[in-house]
Chains A and B, each alone.
Chain A
Amino acid sequence: MNKKALLVLVLIIFTLLSVSAGFFLGKSYPTEITPTDSPPPPPPPPPQVTSQSSSDGTRQLIMTATLNSDGTHTYTFSTTDDSHQDKQFVFTKTLDQTQTMAIPFNSWSPDNKYFFILEQTAGKDTATLVFPSSGVPFSTGEKYLDASDIFTKKGTGHRFDQATGWASNSLILINTTSDSGTKGPSYWLELPSLAVIRLSTTF
């Protein structure tokens, strides 16, 4: 073998060694088992369903609370009859984690023509939304009314505390607090006139 052929052979061997070294040295081998994929996120909790029957048991108001991926909750309300055949969508609202919605025990008016639901912050009622159960808007064109907002705008000198229920088919009972923080008088909010009537009896 002449010198030239030997040189070519050395170069080929060197080249092969370099390529092999580069291949094997550049490749890392795991020294321990590590997960290559994060586990799938847990499934979202199932929607929470609560309901409240009318006094005579013929109507149901249903609230479905769904947790969203951003931590907010979407509340959806519907009504149905006692056979659950006539389910009607009523209202939906998405609230952040500091707020909730609820159906009170006394939600339905005695004649089942109205119902109200509550928006709450830290357990305190911040809105009392009154709906006609027929789905037909109020004469003002609004689908629902906020009883607490209406009361506040009347300027009675007392603060809205809580709508406790219905004194009759069309009278919502409202308890109040005075500026000093003591219990104030009770009022009626009459539907659909929206008149506010101060009572001598405290409920």
Chain B
Amino acid sequence: MSSTKRRNTNAPLLVAGISLVVFLGSAYHFSRLPLCANTFTCTRPLEEQIDNQSAGMFLGQTVIPPKIDLLTESKDPTFTVLGDSTYEGEKHIYVDLSAQKLYAFQGGTPIMETLISSGLWGRTPIGNFNIQSKFRATRMAGGRGSDAYDLPNVPHTMFFYGDFGLHGAYWHNNFGHPMSHGCVNMRLIDARDLFNWADGPTASRSGTPVSVCDSFTSPDICIQQKPIK
């Protein structure tokens, strides 16, 4: 009887100890991973995925992704790059979260100014980054319940911090208002033009800088209250 009593006394302490170890271990493990907005597709490394068969889902609505034909695109005679070779100098992308705008500059010359949608259900990370990878399209999925989303063929994606990126959004047209899970959503034509203009990383050079600002004043005043980088 007495031994039984002793076990009962120690059991809560044992459970608490195990829980603490598991909690601390998990916290350490997850703190080592980059933030992840796309909880179902956070693969490492992030990858290009072109899927012309699947339907998408956003806000409980079925959406049909745009078909992507790389062969046709490569022969498109109307293909142009923002600014083409007219402008020279360093490229820089600024995202103004308060105004929900994106600006692109090259050598101080404004190349693009357009409305975007940043994080509503998840925060867009504030800080100074570089484009880490560029994909013609990828799949993004995550969220829970009514906020769940699963979107194939997210076009012209440029990741700048973990799986937070700039990309086109074919499932809504509510730019100028937060509407994403942390990424920077753009109109399809804007995302395409920016994608064709911006540089990904090379062996000798970082990708185009991306500054996410609480507020921004042209040409280069970027206010960041709590930048994570």
Among B63, B120, B178, point to the contact of A110 (Cβ < 8 A). Answer: B63
> Judging by beta carbons under 8 Å apart, are A168 and B170 in contact?
no
Q: Per a CB cutoff under 8 Å, which of A53, A57, A166, A200 touches B174?
A: A166
B contact residues, total (Cβ < 8 Å): 25
Looking at the complex, which of A28-36, A101-109, A140-148, A177-185 is the stretch in contact with chain B? A101-109
Residue of B nearest to A188 (CB): B59
Least CB distance, A177 to chain B, in whole angstroms:
16
The answer to whether the Cβ of B179 comes within 8 Å of any Cβ in the partner chain is yes
Contact B63 A168 (CB under 8 A): yes
Question: What is the CA–CA distance of A110 and B63 in the complex, to the nearest angstrom?
Answer: 10
Please state if B189 and A165 are interface contacts (CB–CB under 8 Å): no
- Residues A164 and B176 in contact, CB atoms below 8 Å apart: yes
With A109-B173, A110-B171, A110-B173 in contact, do A168 and B59 touch (Cβ < 8 Å)?
yes
Task: Tell me if B188 is interfacial: C-beta within 8 Å of chain A.
Answer: yes
- Min Cβ gap B187→A in Å is 5
Minimum distance in angstroms from A174 CB to a CB of chain B: 11
Is A37 close to B, CB under 8 A? no
A164-B177, A167-B59, A168-B61 known; A57 and B172 CB under 8 Å?
A: no
- How close is B181's CB to chain A, nearest CB, in angstroms? 12
Asked if A56 is at the interface of the complex by the 8 Å CB criterion, the answer is yes
With known contacts A56-B66, A203-B120, A168–B115 Cβ distance under 8 A: no
Answer yes or no: B87 CB below 8 A from chain A CBs. Answer: no
A169 close to B (CB within 8 Å): yes
Give A201 to B169 CA distance when docked, in angstroms: 19
State the interface size on chain A (CB cutoff 8 A): 22
User: What CA separation (Å) do A50 and B124 show in the bound complex?
Assistant: 33
Give the CA-CA distance A173 to B146 in the complex, in Å: 16
Expressed in whole angstroms, the minimum distance between the Cβ of A164 and any Cβ of chain B is 5
**Which A residues are CB-close (under 8 A) to B146?**
200
B-contact 0/1 string along A179-203, CB 8 Å cutoff:
0000000000000000000001101
Min CB gap A80→B, angstroms = 16
Does B135 make an interface contact (CB < 8 A)?
Answer: no
CB <8 Å contact, B174 and A173: yes
Q: How far is the CB of A44 from chain B (nearest CB, A)?
A: 32
With a cutoff of 8 Å between Cβ atoms, the chain B residues found around residue A53 in the complex are: 189
Q: Which residues of A contact B120 (CB under 8 A)?
A: 201, 203
A contact residues around B177 at 8 Å (CB): 164-165, 173, 203
Q: Which of B92-141 contact A (CB under 8 A)?
A: 115, 120-121
In the complex, which residues of chain A have a beta carbon less than 8 angstroms from the beta carbon of B178? 203
Residues of B within 8 A of A106 (CB): 173-176
Shortest beta-carbon distance from A60 to chain B in Å: 11
A171 to chain B, nearest CB (A): 7
Assess the A168–B172 pair: CB atoms within 8 A: yes
List of B residues within 8 angstroms of A168 by Cβ:
58-59, 61, 63, 171-172
B59 surroundings in chain A (CB, below 8 A): 167-168, 171
CB-CB under 8 A for A169 and B61, given A57-B189, A105-B115: yes
- 3 smallest CB-CB distances across A and B, nearest first, come from A165-B174, A57-B189, A166-B173
Given A56-B188, A110-B172, 5 more contacts at CB 8 Å? A57-B188, A106-B173, A106-B175, A164-B177, A165-B173
A-B contact pairs, 28 of them (CB 8 A): A55-B170, A55-B187, A55-B189, A56-B170, A57-B188, A57-B189, A105-B176, A106-B173, A106-B174, A106-B176, A109-B173, A110-B63, A110-B171, A111-B64, A164-B174, A164-B176, A165-B173, A166-B173, A167-B172, A167-B174, A168-B58, A168-B63, A168-B171, A171-B59, A173-B177, A200-B146, A203-B120, A203-B179
